[in-house]
Structure 1
Amino acid sequence: MSNEAAVAQNRSTENRSVSLGSAAGPLGYLALGLTLLAFGLLGTGVLNDAGVKDAGSLALFVGGLTLFIAGLLEFRGGSAVTGTAFTALGAFWVTWSQAAAASKDATALFLILWALLALTLTATHWLGGELVRGVYALFTVSLVLLAIGVLASNDTLGKVAGWVAAVAGLLAWYSATSALAGGSWGRLGLPVR
């Protein structure tokens, strides 16, 4: 194989990796949106006999596994920021799905530590789109409110945290849908940035 053919093959492989990474973004934000929406709505108390812990399977497989895989694809595509976000959030959801027996203090500490991660994700996406920045900012607020609610045994703060998480989920879902539609909505769609 000549040098020119090898360079062309390498470029082809690089382009394929980038497209895998960029294609994983909407998948990751759909998974994040679904998980946050379920997590949030179950936390609000609007569904009888259901709570945040009932989202365990969804958190494990959609939030955990799917986000982790999307994160690895983002890393492969060259996006360290989104790759880090998705793999870290995948780890969060896997851990959350398994943390049913944790004490009140351990749960609050867990939520505060993950709120710090969400705050980091908000900062790293500061120059990105407003919707994505809003997803991480609202997720941060939700985790902080939930941690305070857990420590204070305040169900009202937990419900407010649920609504904030649900809105973050809707933003993530909209961001992914907009990216998948490729701007084909014209004036009817909300802007992504």
Structure 2
Amino acid sequence: MDNDVSAGSTTTSTLGQLALGLTLLAFGLGHTRVIDGVTAADSVSLATYVGGIALFVAGLFAFRDHDAFTGTAFSALGALWFTWGVTSDAQVSANAAGLFLLLFALVALSLTVAASGASTLVRGTYGLLFVGLLLLAIGQFGDSSGLAKVAGWFAAAGGLLAWYGATAALANWPTALPGRAAGRGVTATG
């Protein structure tokens, strides 16, 4: 590869969204237990290597491409998945697990708020990740498996959005919702 040619942040973003989507989908479906015999623990390898390492590396490439938001998002989420994956069989209290999830829910909230200039798919992914992690944290604090299942559906939906966004970018599918006509008193500038 020529040193003067960069892969570009679009490629990095697509790779990162695909890694995030697959990890979130596996993690979420594991929590829902909708597939017989599949739990969140079954997504540990995927979370460690695809969600952790690949996403973190995609974040580093985004930083190289001067895309601070994507670099921050992918690096932080890569750290989340790697930490969750390598410590999944560690014996910690429910409150410690809840705190871990709550702290990363706050990271997801920051990403959601900071993604105001990003696509609807990106904002939706981070928003659903925030809700999923928040519900999982509350479920850990309150020992509620029912809340964990609901959280799993939010995480799975976020994974589907991220996966669709990556697939759409690769296949040149639409990624934006059609705009609506401006109503009375509404201008293009707001």
* TM-score greater than 0.5 by the shorter chain: yes
The structure that has the greater radius of gyration is: 1
Using the aligned pairs only, state the percent identity.
51
Give 1:59's match in structure 2, choosing from 47, 61, 69.
47
Q: What's 1:156 paired with?
A: 146
Q: What's 1:176 paired with?
A: 166
Give 1:125's match in structure 2, choosing from 115, 125, 139.
115
The answer to whether structure 1 residue 69 and structure 2 residue 57 are counterparts is yes
Contact 1:22/1:77 (8 A) holds in 2: no
The answer to whether structure 1 residue 24 and structure 2 residue 12 are counterparts is yes
* TM-score relative to the length of structure 1: 0.85
Contact 1:129/1:192 (8 A) holds in 2: no
Whole-angstrom distance in 2 between the partners of 1:59 and 1:79: 24
Whole-angstrom distance in 1 between the partners of 2:98 and 2:40: 14
Whole-angstrom distance in 1 between the partners of 2:78 and 2:141: 25
**Matched residue count:** 175
CA drift at 1:105: 0.9
Q: Which moved more, 1:42-51 or 1:147-156?
A: 42-51
Name stretches of at least 5 consecutive residues in structure 2 with no aligned partner: 179-190
Q: Deviations over 1:50-81 (max 9, x none)?
A: 32122110000110011011111111111010
Q: Which structure has the highest helix share of the two?
A: 1
Considering only aligned residues, what root-mean-square deviation do their CA atoms show, in Å? 1.7
